[in-house]
């Protein structure tokens, strides 16, 4: 199992999530949540992301010649996206429209910002690791 993912595949997945989350915000149809949610869950539970698998067919160079993205970090980001998409879908079915839209908007914005070069999930994970480290130093 590779410990990194080629950047073009990560960007493809981020674009996929952005398109579907944004479509939900504007068109408010549950399919725009369930499709990226299923893909995200497949990636987390079965280590198989059909979007990345399809995208891999279009890579022009060998996988190891692209800028690598840390797989653990991408899994962390995917967990956040799956959680927020789940919240959005549940809120949609419970007719809590503000929560459904807000959660989907957070996913859309995070994916867009990541495409533009700043990974919010990476920042959150880094802060969490720093907190864990500082906490371990105080208990020693």
Q: What is the pLDDT of residues 74-90, one digit of tens each?
A: 999 999 999 999 999 99
Q: Note down the domain range covering 97.
A: 4-138
Which pTM value belongs to this model?
Answer: 0.93
CA distances from 95 to 10, 27, 81, 86, 98 (A): 32, 15, 21, 14, 9
**pLDDT at 1 > cutoff 70:** no
Report the chain's terminal Cα–Cα distance, integer Å. Answer: 35
What pLDDT was estimated at residue 18?
98
Average model confidence (pLDDT) across the chain: 96
Number of domains in the chain: 1
Distance CA 122, CA 77 (A): 7
CA angle 100, 113, 121 (to 5 degrees): 75
């Amino acid at each position: 199992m590779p410990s990194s993912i080629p950047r073009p595949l990560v960007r493809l997945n981020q674009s996929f999530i952005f398109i579907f989350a944004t479509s939900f915000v504007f068109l408010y149809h549950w399919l725009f949540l369930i499709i990226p949610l299923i893909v995200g869950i497949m990636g987390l539970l079965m280590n198989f992301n059909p979007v990345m698998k399809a995208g891999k067919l279009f890579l022009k160079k060998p996988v190891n010649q692209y800028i690598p993205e840390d797989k653990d970090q991408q899994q962390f980001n995917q967990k956040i996206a799956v959680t927020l998409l789940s919240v959005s879908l549940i809120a949609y079915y419970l007719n809590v429209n503000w929560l459904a839209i807000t959660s989907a908007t957070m996913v859309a914005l995070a994916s867009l910002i990541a495409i533009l070069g700043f990974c919010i999930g990476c920042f959150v994970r880094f802060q969490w690791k720093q907190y864990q480290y500082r906490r371990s130093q105080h208990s020693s």
